Amino acid sequence: MTLYVLFLVICAALLHAIWNLISKKANGKMPFIWLMYIGSTLIYLPLLVYHVAGSEKFQFTGPMLWFSISSAILHIAYFLILQEGYRRSDLSVVYPTARGSAPLLSSIAAIFVLRETFKYSVALGLVLILAGVLIITGLKFTSGDKKITTGVFWGTLTGLFIALYTLNDAIAIKNYHLSPIQLTFSSNAISILLLIPFLFSKGKEIKREMSEHKWSILAIALLSPAAYILVLQALEHAPLSVIAPARETSILIGVFMGSKALNEKDGKKRIIASILILGGIVFLSLA
């Protein structure tokens, strides 16, 4: 990994952790997500115009259309599930579980579905990630820990969609050579259209979100695509097996923010758990 790629990935991790903190505090639902997509599309339209005018024509092709649609559907599901997790549990539970379960699920699927070779590095990675999740839960799954176990559930479900959209977009970038900026912009624009039918009766909620959370919406609209564009840009210069674990340094940043900015309990324990999860991701990348 070159210093340029490392810089892209670290910046992406920082931006990703910051917008998740903002998202947790906003506690938004579908109208919030829809407004975020609108804001993102408006913010990044000048960048798209500059990109197209300065380097290449807009790729209005079949692969761009279909990968944009699939990416939009997967990202919408990801945002809705993530927000539900944040409403039900702590940032320092949902965030590391989501980011750790994505490579965990990908590795399990590769072994049992694709019949890939089981390696010792994979075994160690899986053990470390599971150990981290168990530490987060406090090694207890009783009714008294319902908030934590609920967070682990929604975090794991979020991780599933992270794995799916990462694979989808990586194929688009690497195999079909689609532009990261154009793919992200098209996906966001299509997401706006896909959500409209579900918002006809939510006019009051939309107005309330605009009134109460306009700055949070704008911040996420700016930071979320920026973080992802940086990752996709890095994928043009390094393999997914290198980029994926490196970007998960955001786990430590996110848990630290949850502990300090939101005063979530068990901060030290969750940071230790996050280090284990991050270590597990690194070992999975060595397979």
List pLDDT tens digits, range 151-190.
Answer: 989 999 999 998 888 888 888 887 888 888 888 889 999 9
Residue the block writes with tokens 């060595």: 286
Give dist(CA 204, CA 226) in Å, integer: 30
Q: Is residue 93 over pLDDT 80?
A: yes
**How many structural domains does the chain have?**
1
Look up the domain containing 199 and give its range: 3-285
Going by C-beta distance under 8 Å and a sequence separation of 6 or more, which residues neighbour residue 86?
23, 24, 27, 94
Taking the alpha carbons of 189, 195, 197, 202 in that order, is the dihedral positive or negative? negative
What angle is formed at CA 21 by the lines to CA 16 and CA 26, rounded to 5 degrees? Answer: 125
**SS3 of residue 1 by DSSP:** coil
pLDDT digits (tens, 9 = 90+) for 219-268: 999 999 899 888 878 877 877 666 766 777 788 888 888 888 888 877 78
C-alpha count within 13 angstroms, C-beta hemisphere, residue 193: 9
